[in-house]
Structure 1
Amino acid sequence: MKLALVYAILALIATAANIGAQDLTLRVYSGHFSLITSVIVGTGVGLVLKYVLDKRYIFGFQSKNMVHDGQTFVLYAVMGVATTVIFWGFEFGFHFLFETKEMRYLGGIIGLAIGYVAKYHLDKRYVFRTEAI
């Protein structure tokens, strides 16, 4: 139960960083493709922050060196492709259905919540697994 609570708190932090980065990007840049640019920036910020938080506080993972850490991050990102499709599907779906920034962000938050539940199981099984000795 404690792990689920910690994971939920860290997911909220990463979600806030993602949505905040999107909003900041839209405030700074309003040109062509500004919406997709903001979503990509938010996704990147959320991905890196969530990796650092999950690695340390959820899985207690220690990489062997920088190369190993880089390989682990790449695997973490690859496992996030399907969950990113869920997140983006909700965010853009809400954008096109409701046509407001607030509803787009709500869709993003719902998509991230669903995606993070799936991502935990993928990460536990494939990314931060403990090797048999």
Structure 2
Amino acid sequence: MTLQTLIIRYTAFAVIATLMNLFFQRIILIIDNSLPYFMAAVAVGTLVGLVVKYYLDKRWIFFDHKKGIHHYSRQFSLYASMGIFTTAIFWGFETVFWLIWQSHFMREMGAIIGLAIGYGVKYHLDKRYVFSNDS
């Protein structure tokens, strides 16, 4: 795969996962804007985005076709672990933007900025530790 194709695919998949994340957040925040609902929205959105991005990365970025429950369990655990640091970046930006502006638009801007930075870092971690030939 060429570098250009990689960048286009990875960006498209990051956008898809981000939109899924924000969509599920909006669904929850329609119910209530209170802190518990905000925390639930961020958690659910993150989980949905993580699962979507894992599938797309595994299949179309890293071309990993290994199967089996043991392999999936180990690999998804590694994938999620690599996401802890990058999720902290995303949550940090989203939360700071929300606390400063108290606006859904600015919360989503913070989320998008945090996710963009986080996904860039995550690609390199995944390439090295999750989808390497040793994993």
In structure 2, the partner of 1:92 is: 95
How far did 1:64 drift?
A: 3.5
Runs of 4+ residues over 4 Å off in structure 1: 29-32
Are 2:44 and 1:41 aligned? yes
In structure 2, the partner of 1:107 is: 110
Superposed counterparts of 1:51-70, under 5 Å: 51-70=54-73
In structure 2, the partner of 1:18 is: 21
Are 2:134 and 1:131 aligned? yes
Aligned length: 132
In structure 2, the partner of 1:73 is: 76
TM-score (normalised: structure 2) = 0.93
Q: CA RMSD in A?
A: 1.5
How far did 1:2 drift?
A: 1.0
How far did 1:29 drift?
A: 5.0
**Greater mean deviation of Cα atoms: 20-29 or 120-129:** 20-29
How far did 1:32 drift?
A: 5.7
How far did 1:62 drift?
A: 1.8
Q: Deviations over 1:47-78 (max 9, x none)?
A: 00000010001001122411211110010000
How far did 1:19 drift?
A: 0.6
Name the % identity. Answer: 48
Gaps of 5+ in 2: none
SS of the equivalent of 1:33 reads helix
